[in-house]
Structure 1
Amino acid sequence: MSTEVKVPTLGESVAEATIGQWLKQPGEAVSADEPIASLETDKVAIDVMAPHDGVMGQQLAAEGDTVTVGALIATIEEGTGSSGKGAAPAPKNEAAPKAETPPPAAAAEEAPSGASVLSPAVRRAVLEYGIDPATIKGTGKDGRITKDDVVAAAKAKSASPAPTASTPARPERAEGPARREERVKMTRLRQTIAKRLKSAQDNAALLTTFNDVDMTAVIEARNKYKDVFEKKHGIRLGFMSFFAKASVLALKDVPAANAYIEGDEIVYHDYVDISVAVSAPNGLVVPVVRDCDKLSFAQIEQSIADYGKKAKDGTLTMEDMKGGTFTISNGGVFGSLMSTPIINPPQSAVLGLHRIDERPVVRNGEIVIRPMMYIALSYDHRLIDGREAVTALKIIKEAIEDPTRLLIEL
């Protein structure tokens, strides 16, 4: 007897998803509540679980197919099956597209070892860096290889001793292999990101104002208290909590930056829910730290750390990213010197953080070296005037340069 596996409820107002990856193949043994497939929605990846112990049966949709909530995508058969490789596959539904068989001479190049079980993002990274996935130990769920694993392997490979002069690193070949192109369908998440960012440019009057911040005071405070902070709260003290609290001060003084336009009305908020942009394997996601105006530094740091881990593991939920009244995007962790971030609709403003560089500045008539950071505030000029935007960014700058302001809310 077989049991039907259907697309589960995906979240409020989400009706369809894409089959991102089959985690179990026909004929393989499955356990109750074990992930058998990964679905990609507009915002997050969701695992489909096996309803009971048994054997993976038919796969009624192929990777990349769009499926709707409640649609039948697979069956689970009775039995013990195989533990994995070498299993005799059950017949697949003929509706599933068949992959083209590459020419024998090109097969090794076109499909790296283990490519059939890699997600599209990881497969692209493997091809880009020229890494054999069979040599990579996966750190993702159930030992799956993540994009970070591929990047780490590439760095380790580049750090190995360079070849000697007698052995050229790239020997010239009279007839090298033909150059290749690969077409990979955009993930649903990437498509949604593209649409939302383009929509923001099309529908909002975007403008960016800049300032620079002397990070001396925050760095000194962090160095002084980081050990006792971590000992008391069990979480490291970072810079994001300072900027979140500084943003709260700015948004309270400039409420338009914490509002958004809906039709011919402006919706103001008496709370501050900050969307924090974090990097996930399939793209940038923005989980929401709610009620930042009421949270402590430790609670903000813990929330951001939890979201970062969930993003890396691919376990963020719809609820994690729902709402948000303001966004902070930290490009500095990737080395960005300056940028013009795009607002996260329907929000009206986003704060961009960048890397910290030691630069010469004038203090009390003398040139001194200080750790400086450029900060940027992009905003919807339909709602926020230039004076308000500059004022909000100036409040953030002053609070970071004098953290005492955060305590007395000045």
Structure 2
Amino acid sequence: MIHLSIPTIIEQVLETVVQYVDTAMVGHLGEQATAAVSVTTTINWLIHSLMSAFGVGILAMTARAVGEKNKKLTGKLAVLTVWLVLILGAIEGTGAVLLSPYIPVWMGAAPGVREDAALYFTITSIPMIFRAGSVIFGAAVRASGDTKTPMVVNVFVNGINIVLNYWLIYTEGLGVLGAAAASAVSYTFGGISMFYIFKKKSVFSWRKEKRIPDMAVLRRCFRISIPVMMTNTASCLGQIMFTGLVSGMGTSVFAAHSIAVTAETIFYIPGYGMSTAVSAMVGYSIGERSREKFDVLWKQAVCLTMILMCAAGAVLYFVSDALMGIFTPSPQVVSLGAQMLRIVAVSEPFFGLMIIMQGIYNGLGKTGYAFFVETGSMWGIRILLSLLCVKVWQLGLGAVWYCMIADNITKAVLYMIRFLVPGKREKLWKQAFH
């Protein structure tokens, strides 16, 4: 588990460092530039989440096939993976470019921010097929047991992004346009590289298979992926509404909120790294039909993740002011953002528990329950309470972040309660073979 998770954690840390660099470089151009780049962030989460949903399906099925040593099935999955990248990338890319002029308006961006925000979103949406390739091909490669090579690819991708950011934003003076172009180039390089790695993997003997997807395999993938897609969509639509509520509180408040969300990212990466590794290993245990391995795995995964997230939360609490200062020179934004980070630091263990349980459910292929948990908690707690705090009670940003924390804690508890009941856990294990 540690062997698989460490490269994934390093990879995601590097991605987050690049996100930090992006935010810091743009942040020093002023609050308007920060808002222009940040206002479409939740839409990008939605786009990425749809790709990730099929990545979950491919990862779960490939891991099982690897555990079973079923080369015929891995070949069929490889063909399906290529088609998913092409179709999903084309649909999402076309839709994003066509809607780019309207999205900043829908997100409640200030009039002076909308043009730059639309330009940034358009440019970063053009290489959407390559973005889909990075996610879905990457999931397949990780499911084969190789998490190191995707990490190496992302080192180069992140390096390209940082160099191009500095050159285009500052040397060429292109500002937001430069940040968008740098991201687009790095997305393209990442997608091409991940396809090359995927193609070279011997486990995916897809050249012997038909060039059209196997319908039975497609249906099984959809049974896993569609609930994940629905879950991610419900979550991201909630995030979009959540962001819209905050953006209406003023440019400085929104800048503090956006930067704090970015700053927090690196502190919950250990949870996501563990989650990816555990999803693959649960798949291996199902393929091997080893209940003993599964029982040891989920207990160790939960314990280790909670320890890591407790440590991460403690660090976040004490470095919040310094961390915010990296991204913006505005004392007002630094002060408000640091307050939010100290609030959320206490809840990091619950966030980690939520993440690792999602990984276990994904590995089992039981993704439907997550949809009900995510939808009910996101809309019934985070959005409803935030709406009351902002529109009715006229409270500040802190109240909104408390609503976000309540949502995360609720989801963690709901995931764990179902899993701790022995009869329910036994049923989940048996259902994984149907």
Q: Specify if TM > 0.5.
A: no
TM-score (norm 1): 0.22
Q: Name the structure with the higher helix share.
A: 2
Larger Rg: 1
Relative contact order higher in (CA < 8 Å, ≥ 6 apart)? 2
